[in-house]
Structure 1
Amino acid sequence: MVSVLAVADETIESLWSPQVKSLGVDLILGAGDLPFDYLEYLTDALNAPCVFVPGNHDADLSGYSAGRAGWMRAGLPTTWPGPVGAVNADRRIVTVADLRIAGLGGSIRYNGGPNQWTQRQQRRRARTLTRTYAWHQNVRKDARPLDILLTHSPPLGVGDDTDPAHIGFDCLDEVTRRLSPQLLLHGHIHPHGATPDDLTLHGAAVINTVGYTLFEIEPGSRATQFNAPKIVRRRHGT
């Protein structure tokens, strides 16, 4: 089992303090809209790797690449504005802490800010994930299932809201069906201290992790009612 701390949208005082060291997790997942130094603090305090996707209030992290000479953008040396040492999984499939994770950041487009997409734009971005997954299966003959789909926004009609800034993405239904993750983790939808319903989509558990969720998951498994990620503790923000 892999112990995971998933965070999104709202900083939690007890996590941004030495108290967090008692958790002893294997991996940190960031679902967006958090200060990057918060993610850096968690990474250092817990001595665990961090995988994240950007939220709609985060900086534009597109176009950056790391090489021997350092970070580059548009062919010029630059400084990486994201969390130091963390893995940006937006439109990527990565394996960290023995978990296979696919990421898709951003929210529905509502005011033209960074990391905001129309339904059509996000569908196009999401095809990168499904094509990459198919390549792993068909070319590399790697049939290992996806463990976690990490997004900022939820799927349309599955844990989202009705106001223009918090509508979910319709493409996540198809992505979830084709990638068959055990778990879809998202942020963006603030429950204001309440506990939102845990939902399912094509067999995957759908969890709103605004605030934080501490859970355990078995790598390489298919989610069933008898073998689902185990939630240990959570707090859904303020």
Structure 2
Amino acid sequence: MVSVLAVADETIESLWSSQVRALDVDLILGAGDLPFDYLEYLTDALDAPCVFVPGNHDADLTGYSAGRAGWMRAGLPSAWPGPVGAVNADRKIVDVAGLRIAGLGGSIRYNSGPNQWTQRQQRRRARTLTRSDRWKEKFQRGYRSVDVLLTHSPPLGVGDDTDPAHIGFECLDDVVRSLRPQLLLHGHIHPHGRTPDDLELHGSVVVNTVGYTLLEIEPASLTRESTSPTILRRRHGT
């Protein structure tokens, strides 16, 4: 069982203080739109790895690569603007703390800011997750290939909103069908103090983790088992 602290969009005072050290977690998952030094603080205070995807209010992290000489962008040395030590899972499948995590950051395009995509652009970006030759045969045989799908925005019609900035992505339906995650964790939709319902999409639990969610996940990737995460505690909204 892997203990996970999932955070998104809203900083929580008790987490950004010494009180957070009372938590015993194996992994931090960031679903976007949080100060990067907040993620760094959680990583240091909890001594746990952090996997994140960028939100629409985060810095543009595209084009960076890490090498022996440090971070590069467009072939030139560059300072990494993201959280130090954290793993950016945008358009990747990563194995961290015993879980396999697929990531897809960003929101629907509604202005000229970074990390915003049209439905068509996000569909193209999502193909890097679903077209891996390594997992293709297992997808077809009905295995779960990832434990968590970590996104900033929710799927279209599943926990999203109707205003132009908070419409979900339609391509996430296909991603969930292909990867069959136990859990889709997203942010972006602020519940303003209420606790939104946990939803379901093709057998995966869809959880809005704005604020924070503390949960336990039994690794089930590359099996046919149908397991559900155990939610221990959460807080939504300021």
Q: Percent identity?
A: 82
C-alpha distance in structure 1 between counterparts of 2:225 and 2:75, whole Å: 43
Please name the residue that 2:72 is paired with: 72
- For 1:207 and 1:151, the matched residues in 2 are separated by 10
Q: Distance in 1 between matches of 2:205 and 2:49?
A: 23
Contact 1:211–1:237 (8 Å) recurs in 2 = yes
SS in 2 for 1:178: helix
- Aligned pair count reads 232
Shift of the 86–144 alpha-carbon distance from structure 1 to 2, 3 Å rule, reads same
Is the contact made by 1:3 and 1:217 (CA closer than 8 Å) also made in structure 2? yes
Aligned twin of 2:106: 106
**Structure 2 stretches lacking a partner, 5+ long:** none
Aligned to 1:189: 189
State the shift of 1:237 in Å: 1.9
1:204 is matched with 204
* Whole-angstrom CA distance in 1 between matches of 2:178 and 2:135: 13
The residue aligned with 2:167 is 167
2:154 maps to a residue whose letter is P
Superposed displacement of residue 137, structure 1? 4.5
Runs of 4+ in 1 over 4 A off after TM superposition: none
Counterpart position of 1:13: 13
Q: What residue number does 1:34 align with?
A: 34
TM-score by length of 2: 0.95
AA in 1 matched with 2:234? R
* Aligned partners of 1:204 and 1:223 also within 8 Å: no
Contact between 2:135 and 2:145, CA under 8 Å: does it hold in 1?
A: no
Task: Give the deviation of 1:145 after TM superposition.
Answer: 2.5
Q: Residue 131 of structure 1: CA displacement? A: 1.1
How many angstroms apart in 2 are the aligned matches of 1:33 and 1:195? 19
Give the Å deviation of 1:135. 2.5
The alignment's C-alpha RMSD in Å is: 1.3
**C-alpha separation between the residues in 1 aligned to 2:97 and 2:176?**
22
1:112, distance to aligned residue in structure 2 (A): 1.5
TM-score, normalised to structure 1, is 0.95
User: Secondary structure at 1:175's aligned position in 2?
Assistant: helix
Corresponding residue of 1:90: 90
Q: Distance in 2 between matches of 1:38 and 1:96?
A: 20
